[in-house]
Amino acid sequence: MRVLLTVIACFSITVYATKKDRMKIVEECNKVSGVDKEVVKKAMMGIYVEDPLLKKDMLCYFQQLKDKYKGNMNVISQASVKCTVEYDTPEDTAFNLIKCTRDVFVSSET
């Protein structure tokens, strides 16, 4: 459960992190995870592939954000209403949280 709450808190940070900061973290995590950059690009467009390296990459991304930014409780509350589901592994939890929260925020912008 601690991992899930950390992931949710880190998600809120992604909303406020600058694009430059996010891209730097993406590059750092790509090196750590070894995920194919095309898989990451597709995920950023909302096309998700069940790839263990992508899941590892997403977990890295959340952990890096946690270390660099403070969260916002309003965003955490919004995301937790719909997207708080704990999966078998931290990687699966991060993967599914990103999918869910992207859908929530994309649909709220339209």
The torsion of the CA quartet 31, 63, 21, 11, rounded to 10 degrees, works out to: 130
**How many alpha carbons fall within 13 Å on the CB side of residue 78?**
15
> Mean pLDDT over residues 40-61, rounded?
90
Cα separation, 41 vs 98, in Å, equals 14
* Per-residue pLDDT, 75: 53
DSSP code, position 36: -
Question: 10 Å Cβ neighbour count for 86?
Answer: 15
* Per-residue pLDDT, 51: 95
Query: What stretches of the chain show up as alpha helix (H) in DSSP?
Result: 2-16, 19-33, 37-44, 52-68, 73-83, 90-109
Cα separation, 11 vs 66, in Å, equals 9
> Mean pLDDT over residues 48-58, rounded?
93
Residues listed for the chain: 110
User: Binning pLDDT at 50, 70 and 90, where does residue 61 land?
Assistant: confident
Q: Give me the percent of the chain exceeding a pLDDT of 70.
A: 62
For domain 2-109, give the CATH number.
Answer: 1.10.238.20
**How many alpha carbons fall within 13 Å on the CB side of residue 14?**
25
What integer best gives the mean pLDDT of the chain? 75
Encode pLDDT of 8-46 as tens digits: 555 555 554 567 777 888 899 999 999 999 998 898 888
